[in-house]
Amino acid sequence: MKGLTYRASFNVDLQSSLRDGYSPRSIVNKADLNDNSGSGFKVNTNGLALLHESILTYSTLFAQHHSFKATAVVASQSEDNNSNQINATGFPNDATQNEALQLALTRTVTSSRSRTRLDSYLARINYGYKDKYFLDLTARVDGSSKFGANHKYGLFPAVSAAWRIIEEPFAKNISWLSDLKLRGSYGITGNAGGLNPYQSLATVSASGSDYNINHTFVTGINPSGIANPDLRWEKSTQADIGLDISLLNNRISIIVDAYQKTTKDLLYVKGLPLSSGYGTITGNFASLENKGLEFAVNARILDGPLKWNVSGNMTMNRNKVLDLDGGTTQERFITAYSILKVGQPLGVFKTYVYDGINQTGDAILPGYDGRLGGLKVKDINGDGTISAADQVITGNPNPKFIYGFSTNLSFKGFDLSMFLSGSQGNDIYNAARLSFEMPLGQRNQLAGLANRWSPTNPSNQYVSGFQAGRLPVTSQVVEDGSYLRCKNLTLGYTLPRIKGVQQIRVYVSTNNLFTITKYSGFDPEVNTYAGSNTAIGIDNLVYPQAKSFLGGLQVTF
């Protein structure tokens, strides 16, 4: 049948890893050497991911002006993960290291396996009239094994339409306008996030409960957690309206978008009362709103022998927590210093307000274990004692806007390009500084600590050396995380063509050449909880991005 196509794909992803180590007897102090000296381990993990996708499309053009395309997709993916671990202690000698763990005096073994599956079904109709009006209808059903028995499937419909105004007779004659298109869309999307499997089920497992009975170590089987049979898809309803404009023979193009997105049933890991006997539960406990504007401009400024393109984009997003726990909670800590609070952006920082250092003669308020030479915090409610009520919102990790800018210049064989990106108005909780400014005598410290507080050196910045870990969570480490970074700068030269070779280009390039920021940490672009959708803007010692310089030769045949 004409216009009908079928495409199928199958992907198999096999992963296998071995992590092993050995701590030899030879490094043990001779006096301490005994039967239990020497230890080794092996951890085998393997994963099998299968993905199948079938796409059936039918497209046709009828009555001259009507284009019609129908698409049906069936996709299924599964992931199977296995992990086996052996720890062994007490080797007779170092000869076999960890390659014969059966020689060890004691061995502990753990193994686990998990499997997840995601099935998707999609139907889409694209309709166009005269290359001027477009309408797309999509319906998809996704099913994930991770959700509760009655909540595995989610239906996610979407509709979008576009009007190419440039095709209208009144617009066609405007000489400086080369394209004009108005777009709109409305739809629901689903998210299963980084959810772990089995959380909707009531299960028990041998997960580390044990005791010594009759001089023997025995392991127990304990509840894995509180089952959440209501675990379901996180759903976002998004409306978007956009305009694409091209001017002056496509020399300048502009894209503008405005969107509003409401997320219901936000998936997150919530702390349970310790009195329940459990730590956390995963579920759909919040709703959230995001709205914003996006701009992008692309301009071919020079188009002769000297070519110069520039482009820029900017996104302004505002988010707000709409409710928590079905309206029963107003505020909830997600880390020791960041919260979800109804009416506030995601993950704002809630801390004491830093007020310098307790100087000789200062009255040290009770309630936060403050001491002479230690951090001083503000008594916000003025009740003469420092309590949880004195913790206020002291920072917002969400930027006012993020932006990017790139430029490409080429002349004869030379090309020069640069890409800048930045973020403005976001705060970072520099948790690493707490560690680097807490003199415990066991780790590296910031150089500034040489100037730490003492009765004779009343520093107002660095605490004295006798804090024994006593640094309250304060706004001292909430910093402006705005930055502008040169992500890439490249200079290249393409050699004149020679026979048999299509192109030879030499270039020098640098990544992360410079960063303009007031942030005192290593890298304003990091986030310790990179996988979390709620704990954001936290720098607790993540390896910073490297500045790199590259030289290269590209030969294309």
Partner 1 sequence: MKKILIPILVAFGLASCQLDETIYSSIYTEAFYKTAADAEKGLIAAYDPFADMYSGPAGTLIADFSDDQTYPRGVVGRNTLTLFTYDINYTTQKSNSRLNEAPQQIWTSGYDGIEKANWIIAKVPAATMDETRKKQIIGEAYYLRAFYLWMLTKNFGDVVIKTTPSYLQADAILGKSPKADVYKQIYADLDLAFAAGLPSYPAVDKGRPSKEVVNALYAKAALYNEEWQKALEKAQAVITSGKYSLMPDVRNVYKYDQEDAARIENMWAYEVDPVLPGRSHQLTGLCGPPASAGPEYGKTTFGSMFAYQSFYNSFNPADKRRLLLDTTYVDKNGKTIPQRSITPITTEGVLIKKYQDPVSTIGLIPNIPIFRLADMYLIAAEAEARLNGATPLAYGYINTVRKRAGLPDLQTGLSKDALVDAVIQERAWEFFAEGDRWYDLTRTGKFLTVIPKAVNSVYPVRNVTAKNKYFPIPQDELNANPKLEQNPDWK
Hey, which residues between 178 and 207 contact partner 1 (CB under 8 A)?
197-198, 200-206
Exposure string for 378-403, b = 16+ CB within 10 A, e = fewer: bbeeeeeebeeebbebbbbbbbebbb
Examine residue 3 and tell whether it contacts partner 1 (CB under 8 A): no
Q: What length does the chain have?
A: 557
Site mask, partner 1, residues 269-298, x = CB under 8 A? -xxxxxxxxx--x-x---------------
Examine residue 146 and tell whether it contacts partner 1 (CB under 8 A): yes
Minimal distance in Å, beta carbon 287 to partner 1? 17
Examine residue 221 and tell whether it contacts partner 1 (CB under 8 A): yes
Please identify, using beta-carbon distances, which residue of 469 and 500 lies nearer to partner 1: 469
The phi, psi pair for 104, rounded to 5°, reads -75, 155
Please identify, using beta-carbon distances, which residue of 277 and 552 lies nearer to partner 1: 277
Please identify, using beta-carbon distances, which residue of 1 and 498 lies nearer to partner 1: 1
- The span from the first CA to the last CA of the chain, in angstroms, equals 40
User: Do residues 546 and 511 lie in contact, with contact meaning Cβ atoms separated by under 8 Å?
Assistant: yes
Residue of 84, 138, 222, 520 interacting with partner 1 (CB under 8 A): 222
Please identify, using beta-carbon distances, which residue of 62 and 557 lies nearer to partner 1: 62
User: Do residues 6 and 54 lie in contact, with contact meaning Cβ atoms separated by under 8 Å?
Assistant: yes
Who contacts 38 (Cβ-Cβ below 8 Å, separation ≥6)? 22, 23, 24, 25, 28, 89, 90, 91, 93, 94, 104
Please identify, using beta-carbon distances, which residue of 157 and 327 lies nearer to partner 1: 327
Residue of 184, 242, 312, 367 interacting with partner 1 (CB under 8 A): 367
Please identify, using beta-carbon distances, which residue of 320 and 371 lies nearer to partner 1: 371
Minimal distance in Å, beta carbon 334 to partner 1? 10
CA dist., res. 322 & res. 237, Å (int)? 14
Interface stretch with partner 1, choices 217-225, 444-452, 457-465, 508-516 (CB under 8 A): 217-225
Please identify, using beta-carbon distances, which residue of 445 and 482 lies nearer to partner 1: 445
Interface stretch with partner 1, choices 40-48, 219-227, 247-255, 518-526 (CB under 8 A): 219-227
Minimal distance in Å, beta carbon 115 to partner 1? 6
- Residue that is written with structure tokens 């993540």 in the block: 542
Minimal distance in Å, beta carbon 72 to partner 1? 7
Q: Which of residues 446-475 bind partner 1 (CB under 8 A)?
A: 468-473
Q: Which of residues 14-33 bind partner 1 (CB under 8 A)?
A: 32
Residue of 64, 175, 214, 502 interacting with partner 1 (CB under 8 A): 214
Kindly state the number of chain residues that form the binding site for partner 1, as judged by CB under 8 A.
90
What single letter denotes the amino acid at residue 142?
D
Minimal distance in Å, beta carbon 189 to partner 1? 19
User: Do residues 484 and 404 lie in contact, with contact meaning Cβ atoms separated by under 8 Å?
Assistant: no
Structure tokens at 27: 């490094």
Examine residue 211 and tell whether it contacts partner 1 (CB under 8 A): yes
Residue of 64, 175, 328, 502 interacting with partner 1 (CB under 8 A): 328
Structure tokens at 211: 């005791």
Residue 343's nearest CA partner among 326, 322, 317, 318 is 322
Please identify, using beta-carbon distances, which residue of 31 and 546 lies nearer to partner 1: 31
Examine residue 372 and tell whether it contacts partner 1 (CB under 8 A): no
Interface stretch with partner 1, choices 302-310, 332-340, 395-403, 532-540 (CB under 8 A): 332-340
Interface stretch with partner 1, choices 16-24, 43-51, 218-226, 301-309 (CB under 8 A): 218-226
CA dist., res. 106 & res. 85, Å (int)? 14
Helix (H) or strand (E) holding 433, with range, is helix 431-436
**Strand locations in 32-105 (E):** 39-62, 66-89
Interface stretch with partner 1, choices 223-231, 238-246, 257-265, 446-454 (CB under 8 A): 223-231
The phi, psi pair for 199, rounded to 5°, reads -80, -10
Site mask, partner 1, residues 486-525, x = CB under 8 A? ----------------------------------------
Residue of 84, 145, 408, 509 interacting with partner 1 (CB under 8 A): 145
Examine residue 68 and tell whether it contacts partner 1 (CB under 8 A): no
SS3 475: helix
Residue of 129, 176, 217, 514 interacting with partner 1 (CB under 8 A): 217
Minimal distance in Å, beta carbon 536 to partner 1? 19
The phi, psi pair for 35, rounded to 5°, reads -60, -25
Residue of 12, 18, 27, 213 interacting with partner 1 (CB under 8 A): 213
Give burial (CB, 10 Å; 0-12/13-18/19+) of 534.
buried
Q: Which of residues 152-181 bind partner 1 (CB under 8 A)?
A: 152-153
Examine residue 94 and tell whether it contacts partner 1 (CB under 8 A): no
Work out the angle at residue 253's Cα, subtended by the Cα atoms of residues 247 and 258, and round it to the nearest 5 degrees. 120
What would you report as the CA-atom Rg of the chain, rounded to the nearest whole angstrom?
30
Q: In what order do the strands lie in the sheet with 348-351?
A: 331-333, 338-341, 348-351, 392-395
Who contacts 213 (Cβ-Cβ below 8 Å, separation ≥6)? none
Who contacts 249 (Cβ-Cβ below 8 Å, separation ≥6)? 178
- Residue that is written with structure tokens 């009520």 in the block: 389
Interface stretch with partner 1, choices 11-19, 362-370, 409-417, 498-506 (CB under 8 A): 362-370
Examine residue 112 and tell whether it contacts partner 1 (CB under 8 A): yes
